[in-house]
């Protein structure tokens, strides 16, 4: 995957590493499904990488050894993961946690962290070392009138009590697939598997449509209703690929 890491011409520029990581992502897209744990973990890593690209470029410009070190860390995490997968059967390999590439970026960001400017501080003086000149105080015109007492804070709005929500109309195909399974949603979530989206753009609530119960304050409560159109078929296909095929939760 990263053959040039073994050669003498080590990466020294942010742009070289950025191009390598994005090219590798194109290869992952061709070979793995988006729901594969490794593909999902690498996609999360690449999204964070893009969001802090300016910060990384500035740091790598002052530390030429960092691009090669970062690439070497990714290579080692990848090698350990696939060696572990090769030693497991299909079901065990499916639930093996992928490499935590995002943790690697967290350590990089700590090394390059710069304290923010104080509110109101001039930008030029903060970086040039020039002290900020305070304005001359205005002449005193006598004691100022007493300020009016602040208004009493408004009472906080009452929050609705959290209640259980039961799915009265489960999807028959999903109900049949989940029968006899001690299914745990965290088995999918910790491997980066996410449900397909509904018409409003929200992810379909897997708890409501698989184990047929959820809570009223769920972030995906807009999908606590029968799935219409082809969204029912899409969700059934999702369950077949991510629960039934790897045989997750069979008691």
pLDDT in tens, 49-76: 888 888 888 878 887 778 888 888 888 8
* Site of tokens 């305070």: 134
pLDDT in tens, 80-128: 888 888 888 877 877 888 888 877 777 666 565 544 444 444 444 444 4
Q: What is the DSSP letter of 181?
A: B
Q: What percentage of the chain reaches a pLDDT higher than 70?
A: 75
- Res. 186: pLDDT tops 60: yes
Whether pTM > 0.85 for this model: the answer is: no
Residue 222 in tokens:
């807009």
- The SS3 call for residue 87 is coil
Q: How far apart are CA 109 and CA 143, in angstroms?
A: 50
Q: How far apart are CA 108 and CA 126, in angstroms?
A: 24
pLDDT in tens, 12-37: 678 888 888 888 899 889 988 888 88
Q: How far apart are CA 57 and CA 82, in angstroms?
A: 30
Q: How far apart are CA 82 and CA 6, in angstroms?
A: 19
């Amino acid at each position: 995957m990263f053959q040039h890491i073994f050669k003498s011409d080590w990466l020294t520029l942010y742009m070289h590493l950025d191009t390598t990581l994005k090219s590798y992502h194109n290869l992952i897209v061709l070979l793995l499904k988006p729901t594969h744990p490794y593909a999902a973990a690498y996609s999360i890593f690449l999204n964070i990488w893009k969001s802090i690209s300016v910060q990384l470029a500035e740091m790598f410009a002052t530390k030429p050894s960092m691009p090669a070190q970062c690439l070497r860390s990714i290579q080692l995490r990848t090698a350990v993961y696939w060696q572990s997968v090769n030693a497991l059967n299909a079901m065990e390999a499916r639930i093996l946690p992928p490499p935590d590439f995002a943790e690697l970026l967290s350590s990089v960001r700590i090394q390059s962290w710069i304290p923010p400017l104080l509110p109101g501080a001039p930008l030029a003086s903060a970086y040039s070392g020039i002290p900020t000149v305070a304005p001359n105080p205005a002449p005193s015109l006598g004691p100022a009138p007493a300020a009016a007492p602040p208004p009493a804070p408004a009472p906080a709005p009452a929050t609705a009590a959290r209640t259980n929500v039961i799915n009265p109309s489960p999807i028959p195909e999903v109900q049949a697939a989940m029968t006899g399974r001690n299914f745990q949603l965290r088995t999918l979530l910790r491997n980066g598997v996410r449900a397909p989206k509904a018409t409003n753009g929200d992810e379909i609530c897997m708890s409501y449509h698989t184990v047929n119960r959820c809570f009223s304050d769920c972030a995906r409560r807009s999908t606590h209703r029968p799935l219409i159109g082809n969204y029912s078929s899409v969700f059934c296909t999702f369950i077949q690929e991510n629960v039934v095929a790897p045989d997750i939760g069979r008691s």
